[in-house]
Amino acid sequence: MDLRIRISKYPGTPEDRLLLSHTLDLLEQGSQKDRLTYTDFLTPAEQALITQQLSILHPVFFGGHPESERRICLYLPEYLTLEELSQDGPITAFRAAFSPREKLTHRDFLGSLMGCGIERSCIGDLFVREGFCDFFLTKAISPYVRQNLLSAGRVPVSVTEISLEDVVIPEKKSRILQDTVASLRLDSICSAAFRMSRERASAAIRAGKVSVNSLPCEKADRLLREGDAVSLRGSGKAVLDEIGGNTRKGRISITIRVLL
């Protein structure tokens, strides 16, 4: 089926279809002219949607760092590599320094950037540490941010551009759970990961509160595989790290990594 017809019939929201249509245009332009084309920053759910629906076009995602959550989708011509994009590409990085006595948060910096009139889609991941915040932006707005981001909340900040490699990424905290389940169904994995009954897990799935690999899933009987990530609204995210053998009682041993 033609991709444009497929997009027009996609049973998602109008916003989903608009995103897919816009991304399709950019990827096709890049492919036809063999040049770099790219979107603004996308959420994990938007990236998953593009991967699912436009996989035939081999979309590439880049967020400034391998662990970035918000990433741009791009057509990468054969003469370019992601390493070269890290040096001179569509993403820049900044460090906003402030007094270590102040306790600023992700919300403070995001609010200040958007208060400058910057669209959320132009802002990538932000990492707040003691005394500074590193963040990614689309290159086009870099000069504007350098001149206009003077504070976060009511705290003065000093903004400088840094290389992507110098961005400090906080270590993600997690805990490992080892359990056994009757099957690899989504409701069983949710029950084990989030410490709730299978009935409550099924109800949450039916209510649209659960996503698998960043896409909503309302099928409690969906079978999961190693590496699948499950999110439960209000409870967090867990990854099915390992599927082991069967126990004597016929249950399946699993290892789950719960992100804190």
The answer to the question of residue 213 being in a domain is yes
Q: Are residues 221 and 158 in the same domain?
A: no
CATH assignment of the domain containing 146:
3.30.70.330
Q: Which of 124, 148, 166 is the last residue of a domain?
A: 166
Q: Are residues 152 and 100 in the same domain?
A: yes
Q: Are residues 118 and 75 in the same domain?
A: no
The per-residue pLDDT for range 82-97, each reduced to its tens digit, is: 889 888 899 999 999 9
Q: Are residues 57 and 119 in the same domain?
A: no
The answer to the question of residue 86 being in a domain is no
Question: Is residue 114 predicted with pLDDT exceeding 80?
Answer: yes
Question: Is residue 207 predicted with pLDDT exceeding 80?
Answer: yes
Q: How confident is the model at residue 260 (pLDDT cuts 50, 70, 90)?
A: confident
CATH assignment of the domain containing 23:
3.30.1370.160
Q: Are residues 243 and 207 in the same domain?
A: yes
CATH assignment of the domain containing 186:
3.10.290.10
The answer to the question of residue 67 being in a domain is yes
Look over the chain and give the mean of its residue pLDDT values, rounded to a whole number.
96
Q: Are residues 54 and 131 in the same domain?
A: no
Q: Which of 79, 101, 134 is the last residue of a domain?
A: 79
Q: How confident is the model at residue 249 (pLDDT cuts 50, 70, 90)?
A: very high
The β-bridge relationship of strands 37-42 and 71-75 is: antiparallel
Dist. CA 43–CA 24, nearest whole Å? 17
- Number of structural domains the chain divides into: 3
The tokens describing 212, both together, are 């698998």
Provide CB contacts within 8 A for 136, sequence distance 6+: 41, 63, 64, 65, 68, 70, 91, 92, 93, 123, 124, 125, 126, 164, 167
Average pLDDT value for residue range 153-181: 95
The per-residue pLDDT for range 2-53, each reduced to its tens digit, is: 999 999 999 999 999 999 999 999 999 999 999 999 999 999 999 999 999 9
The per-residue pLDDT for range 179-188, each reduced to its tens digit, is: 999 999 999 9
Question: Is residue 219 predicted with pLDDT exceeding 90?
Answer: yes
Extended beta strands in 88-223, E state: 91-97, 123-129, 132-138, 151-152, 155-156, 158-162, 174-181, 210-212, 215-216
The answer to the question of residue 85 being in a domain is no
Q: Which of 79, 106, 131 is the last residue of a domain?
A: 79
The per-residue pLDDT for range 47-67, each reduced to its tens digit, is: 999 999 999 999 999 999 998
Domain that holds residue 179: 174-259
pTM for this predicted structure: 0.91
The β-bridge relationship of strands 132-138 and 37-42 is: unpaired
Question: Is residue 1 predicted with pLDDT exceeding 80?
Answer: no
